[in-house]
Structure 1
């Protein structure tokens, strides 16, 4: 082997070693918006092929109507103007799917309870009953859909808020059970380039210091990006919020890869790397796939350029360890 060949081989091996890591997918929906799924065998296969040792798994708390007047079933919740309704059975279907697995397979999933209406002050009682029905099974609450662009607009009633009275009751219950809460709360609307709804999130964080909040997509969404592309205030805002609130973790699920973490050439952005290094224990990564798992590995490995550019201990924390620290103490121990 020549010196040049040996050097190339060494660099390749080093690159492979840097990229070889175990992932916890911090945001995975077992079903889609029609409560349909590829199923557990397909999910486990996709996890095995993608270095995903565990997944934070949840249903979807709403279901899309195939309206009587629509000749073709919509492919997504935004496929037509038919309504969306709250769907509690998503939790029981997820529970049954996990219980059907063998004990070793069950350990790979971290189930979150999501099937409730965040605008209903009775929801806290539904959640408590679900927790009592299967003691120790549910490890968190969410994804809670509060402000969620077009999805919210298709749900009958007012837009749920992160700081509603109903959600304050849920947070109190979460603190009682030491359950983290994965919260979807858009930071702004499709038209406003400012943190329009920041007060709702901050109010929840301030009034519930004992609750471990996980902010889904850092308040962004695919629909926001379709209209606004990159929101330049997101990174400075995260820096401010992480400094103020020890109970906040940021979920860097797929909508954050572009246009935030990576530039147009697919390279990590230096200022984002600096933020991740400044708060190495406050970020997790997730796929946010919904019922279909063909792209699971592609999405999770989409974070590799960022993780490879970070110190190894920081990359390991974000890819794997940080989520384990959020789990109920009895589970984490």
Structure 2
């Protein structure tokens, strides 16, 4: 009878907290958005602003796509996605010019909602840091971060012309030093494993920069997951414990919980929050951000951000609002944070 009463109280508290959570209205920061797609095309800034307003999205990390898909001479039909055919993708620096031009057309109040990350550089080229420095000098105060930097990225990696990028190569070490110099966070896409290995095969490629660049803030895109990995492995059973250890070991690591993390990690098939991930976020409440990872097209932006609500509802209200909105803003350069106050 005593145990029954305990379980009843626990169930009542749980149901009450869920009910409270379901009544919350969140304001969001989209910490992972691409203004253009893999063909460097976009729905445009006005459609993006309308989607932000519809989705209660106050702030957006906005970046280009660092590669462009080639329409190969031998292909009679233009591909619709980077995986549409076997033609390669190539590094495309003008993506940052497109982002900068779009922001220049906004008024001052609109521009405050956008936080552009510079991405158009080749992470295998030891000239990359010099290129980034030139871009920072060309538009002083514009760029607020670097990335999404593509390294291990399943099919994108396989299609990219040239060498396979690694997060721990010498060229990127120079970029990380520069990021610390300019107080810029770095969003890094570095898959944790391959399609078939059921272990953190490539973890060393991420962990080495975390250890060697303690003054650089790293945002790990999708916590090293991708939809292609999920197609082959469904769920990486080692991911939670790996992320937990990394957060304990490296205070300069932050986790992007964008769309490939939503299921099967944060929520199950019935959209119930995973208790292990809820507990991990509560233990590191300032170290997680969420994002849509949309690429140039914004019809589903609000839906994608609101899909996180069941997970946020399982968190304490202050933690949930941090993950939904404020944690991303705290990652921005200190000068930019001061302007937002």
The answer to whether TM tops 0.5 is yes
Q: 1:52 aligns with which of 54, 57, 73?
A: 57
Q: Which residue of 1 aligns with 2:312?
A: 307
SS state at 2:40 partner: coil
State yes or no: 1:160 paired with 2:162. Answer: no
State yes or no: 1:325 paired with 2:330. Answer: yes
Q: 2:89 aligns with which of 81, 84, 92?
A: 84
Q: Which residue of 1 aligns with 2:100?
A: 95
Tell me, in whole angstroms, the C-alpha distance in 1 between the residues paired with 2:240 and 2:22: 30
Write the mapping of 1:250-289 to structure 2, written as runs, cut at 5 A.
250-289=255-294
CA distance 1:312–1:119, shift in 2 (3 Å): same
State the Cα RMSD in Å.
Answer: 1.4
CA distance 1:111–1:14, shift in 2 (3 Å): same
Tell me, in whole angstroms, the C-alpha distance in 2 between the residues paired with 1:12 and 1:81: 47
For the Cα contact (< 8 Å) 2:22–2:310, is it kept in 1? no
State yes or no: 1:41 paired with 2:46. Answer: yes
SS state at 2:58 partner: strand
Q: 2:298 aligns with which of 284, 293, 296?
A: 293
The gaps in structure 1 that reach 5 residues or longer are 1-10
TM superposition shift of 1:17 = 3.8
Write the mapping of 1:183-194 to structure 2, written as runs, cut at 5 A.
183-194=188-199
State yes or no: 1:109 paired with 2:114. Answer: yes
For the Cα contact (< 8 Å) 2:22–2:313, is it kept in 1? no
TM superposition shift of 1:16 = 6.0
Tell me, in whole angstroms, the C-alpha distance in 2 between the residues paired with 1:286 and 1:13: 25
The gaps in structure 2 that reach 5 residues or longer are 1-16
Tell me, in whole angstroms, the C-alpha distance in 1 between the residues paired with 2:20 and 2:311: 16
Q: Which residue of 2 aligns with 1:202?
A: 207
Q: 2:235 aligns with which of 210, 216, 230?
A: 230
Q: Which residue of 1 aligns with 2:181?
A: 176
Q: Bigger shift: 322-331 or 287-296?
A: 322-331
SS state at 1:209 partner: coil
Q: 2:221 aligns with which of 212, 216, 233?
A: 216
Write the mapping of 1:132-171 to structure 2, written as runs, cut at 5 A.
132-171=137-176
Q: Bigger shift: 63-72 or 112-121?
A: 63-72
Q: 1:22 aligns with which of 27, 35, 54?
A: 27
Which runs of at least 4 in structure 1 moved beyond 2 Å after TM superposition? Answer: 11-17
- 1:271-308 deviations in whole A, cap 9, x for unaligned? 11011101100000000000000110111011000001
SS state at 1:63 partner: strand
Q: How many positions carry a matched residue from both structures? A: 323
Q: Which residue of 1 aligns with 2:73?
A: 68
TM superposition shift of 1:71 = 1.3
TM superposition shift of 1:264 = 1.4
SS state at 1:300 partner: helix
Tell me, in whole angstroms, the C-alpha distance in 1 between the residues paired with 2:337 and 2:286: 16
Q: Bigger shift: 243-252 or 265-274?
A: 265-274
For the Cα contact (< 8 Å) 2:21–2:314, is it kept in 1? no
CA distance 1:13–1:280, shift in 2 (3 Å): closer
- 1:92-113 deviations in whole A, cap 9, x for unaligned? 1100000101111111100000
Normalising to structure 1: TM-score of the pair?
A: 0.95
